Structure 1
Amino acid sequence: MKKSLMLYLFILAILMNVFTYSFYSGEVKFGQERYDKTTKKLRDSISLMKNKLAEADYFSLEHNENAQNYFDNSASGGKVILYEKLIPVVTEKLLDFNSNPKGNPYTGQDQIGPNKFIINKVKILNHRWIIADYSNGELWGEVLLKYFVDNDDNITFEINQTWLYQK
């Protein structure tokens, strides 16, 4: 009886080891497959976001080589303007007009009520055009501006078109 009990325990131990081995090997395989699927989804999402960002930045001075070359006047004897340094300078200069008591004159809007119109966000599209978002806290609009940089590094702006959204 003792021998048969030992035989049953031995068989039971072997079965437990086989089932345990198959369970854990399946769990590792399942975990690896889940990791691979998640990684693939994340890579696809990152790739999709990179493509969307590249599409959104198509109209920007940072990614327009022809517009960047406009500021390289060294061939004609002029001076070189680095677009990386120009972008923050132009943006800051345009936003400095927000301190005007009547509001930013480059919104193309006169003050309506007690609040003045100020520019909130600026995007430099190329060597000539800027698009900006403005508001007075109640009304919102957008403006398309021309900008010019002369040889003395003076920056001037000109309103091309403005749009004020209705409430």
Structure 2
Amino acid sequence: MKNSLLLYLIIIVLLLNVFTYMYFSKQLTFVKDKFAKTEVKLKKDLEAVNTKLVDANYFSLKKNENAQNYFNPDNATKTIQVEMLIPVVTEKLMDLNANPKGNPYIGQDQIGVNKFIINKVRILNHRWIIADFSDGEYWGEVLIKYFVNEDESVSFETFQSLLYQK
């Protein structure tokens, strides 16, 4: 009786070990497969986001070689670095928000008690800027021409402005 009980216990322990081994080995392959599928999905999502980013930056001075060549022509005696130009132009336009009547290049007169100020700026190419502006109640967009003068100062000219309905 003792021998048969010992034999049964050994068989049960052996079966438990086999089932435990099979469970953990299948779980490991399941986790590896799940990780591989997730990695493939994330790579596709990353590629899609990169494609959208490239499309979004299509109209940008940073990506437009023709506009960059305007500032860096082959026969120029003085060239302007585009990487330095973008923050300078943006800063000069945003500094005009300090004007008590609002930014003068918005193209809209003050409607309420708040002044119109520029919130976001995007330099499209060597000549155009698009900007978003608001007074906290009304919102709009403005298309601005900019010029880099011989003395490296920047001048602006409002081309078109639009104010959205409330």
Q: TM-score, normalised by structure 1?
A: 0.95
Amino acid of the structure 1 residue aligned with 2:144: L
- The answer as to 2:152 corresponding to 1:153 is yes
* DSSP 3-state at the match of 2:105: helix
- Alpha-carbon RMSD: 1.1
* DSSP 3-state at the match of 1:102: coil
Q: Aligned ranges for residues 33-48 of structure 1 at < 5 Å? A: 33-48=33-48
- The answer as to 2:142 corresponding to 1:143 is yes
Distance 1:117 1:111 in 2: 6
- The answer as to 2:69 corresponding to 1:69 is yes
CA drift at 1:7:
1.5
- The answer as to 2:97 corresponding to 1:98 is yes
Distance 1:77 1:8 in 2: 94
CA drift at 1:159:
1.1
Distance 2:148 2:15 in 1: 83
Structure with greater proportional helix content: 1
Q: TM-score, normalised by structure 2?
A: 0.96
CA drift at 1:39:
1.4
Q: Which residue of structure 2 lines up, in the alignment, with residue 82 of structure 1?
A: 81
**Structure 2: unaligned runs, 5 residues or longer:** none
Q: Using the aligned pairs only, state the percent identity.
A: 60
Amino acid of the structure 1 residue aligned with 2:157: E
Amino acid of the structure 2 residue aligned with 1:110: D
- The answer as to 2:111 corresponding to 1:112 is yes
* DSSP 3-state at the match of 1:127: coil
Q: Is the 8 A contact 1:79 1:151 kept in 2?
A: no
Distance 2:46 2:110 in 1: 44
CA drift at 1:113:
2.1
Q: Write the deviation string for residues 41-72 of structure 1: whole angstroms up to 9, x where unpaired.
A: 22221111111111101100011111111101
- Residues paired across the two proteins, number: 166
Amino acid of the structure 2 residue aligned with 1:89: V
* DSSP 3-state at the match of 1:147: strand
CA drift at 1:81:
0.1
* DSSP 3-state at the match of 2:35: helix
Q: Which residue of structure 2 lines up, in the alignment, with residue 23 of structure 1?
A: 23
* DSSP 3-state at the match of 1:158: strand
Q: Which residue of structure 1 lines up, in the alignment, with residue 131 of structure 2?
A: 132
Question: After the TM superposition, which of the residue ranges 59-68 and 1-10 deviates more from structure 2?
Answer: 1-10
